[in-house]
């Protein structure tokens, strides 16, 4: 089985230039439903489900390979090579932001530009760095996930969605429940304990960072740090709350995409 089939790949759209949509933790490629029509009108669109996510996600997950974000970056490179992509506009949400950054460092030929939505190179606070979490916060998170995954999802989903949008909270809860609890726990450990600040500065492609003003998972300071660390990066802060703006504030995200990618789509 090839990577495209293995990761539940989907390809559609009217454009010649390729756009790759890569979702974040706890969602799957259905997270792009609100943005997909905009992309399909302009691009040749590829989406897929990350290892561990979506239907049959457990079959694609390898505890060793996916114990670091580099394993997901390898998956992405394999998928792009298999699809014959020579250059793409890459849109990565949350954990997929840094996955795309790592892939673009390893194989810059595959990427024309990157759009990072709610991305973070490090979630733990550090000296002169606001990540948003302290070690005890993460221990509490992991313990809650281990103790009662269903109860954890019931609290985590509305907190991360960050706005009173019952449809998105239901969608996010459903895709979280699709994840096998041990895989969800291991994935969250992989994400929350990563520190890719050293890699961020190595990205040598145009990068557009999109961030909401209030995000429980990724404080606005992280978006500011990323935009400063990556040479020439732009930062757009949406006057909205929540970690899933592509689902809860799609019009605002599309407005930014029009501005940043409008000239790129043909």
243 assigned to active site? yes
Provide CB contacts within 8 A for 195, sequence distance 6+: 121, 122, 124
Q: Quote the CA–CA distance of 36 and 139 in Å, as a whole number.
A: 36
Q: Quote the CA–CA distance of 214 and 48 in Å, as a whole number.
A: 28
Provide CB contacts within 8 A for 139, sequence distance 6+: none
Which of helix, strand or coil describes residue 44? strand
- Give how far the C-alpha of residue 101 lies from the chain's centroid of Cα atoms, to the nearest Å: 11
165 assigned to active site? no
Active-site residue, from 94, 120, 188, 199: 94
Q: Quote the CA–CA distance of 97 and 78 in Å, as a whole number.
A: 17
Active-site residue, from 23, 93, 243, 246: 243
94 assigned to active site? yes
Active-site residue, from 23, 215, 236, 246: 215
Q: Quote the CA–CA distance of 123 and 135 in Å, as a whole number.
A: 10
Range 124-133 contact pairs with CB under 8 angstroms and sequence separation of 24 or more? 124/192, 124/193, 124/195, 129/197, 129/225, 130/219, 130/221, 130/222, 130/225, 131/219, 131/222, 132/216, 132/217, 132/218, 132/219, 132/222, 133/192
Active-site residue list:
94, 215, 243
């Amino acid at each position: 089985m090839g990577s495209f089939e293995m990761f539940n790949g989907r390809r559609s759209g009217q454009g010649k230039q390729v756009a790759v949509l890569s979702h974040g933790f706890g969602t799957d490629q259905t997270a792009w439903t609100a943005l997909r029509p905009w992309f399909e009108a302009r691009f040749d669109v590829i989406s897929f489900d990350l290892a561990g996510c979506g239907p049959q996600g457990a079959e694609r997950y390898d505890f060793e390979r996916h114990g670091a974000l580099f394993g997901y970056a390898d998956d992405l490179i394999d998928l792009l090579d298999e699809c014959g992509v020579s250059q793409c506009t890459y849109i990565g949400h949350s954990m997929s932001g840094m996955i795309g950054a790592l892939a673009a460092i390893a194989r810059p030929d595959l990427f024309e530009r990157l759009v990072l939505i709610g991305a973070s190179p490090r979630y733990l606070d550090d000296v002169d760095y606001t990540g948003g979490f302290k070690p005890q916060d993460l221990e509490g998170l992991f313990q809650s996930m281990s103790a009662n995954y269903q109860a954890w999802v019931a609290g985590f989903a509305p907190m991360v969605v960050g706005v009173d949008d019952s449809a998105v909270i239901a969608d996010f809860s459903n895709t979280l429940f699709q994840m096998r609890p041990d895989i969800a726990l291991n994935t969250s450990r992989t994400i929350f304990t990563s520190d890719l600040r050293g890699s961020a500065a190595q990205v040598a492609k145009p990068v557009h960072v999109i961030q909401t003003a209030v995000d429980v998972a990724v404080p606005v300071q992280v978006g500011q740090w990323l935009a400063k660390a990556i040479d020439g990066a732009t930062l757009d802060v949406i006057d909205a709350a929540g970690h899933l703006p592509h689902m809860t504030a799609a019009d605002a995200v599309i407005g930014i995409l029009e501005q940043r990618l409008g000239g790129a789509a043909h």
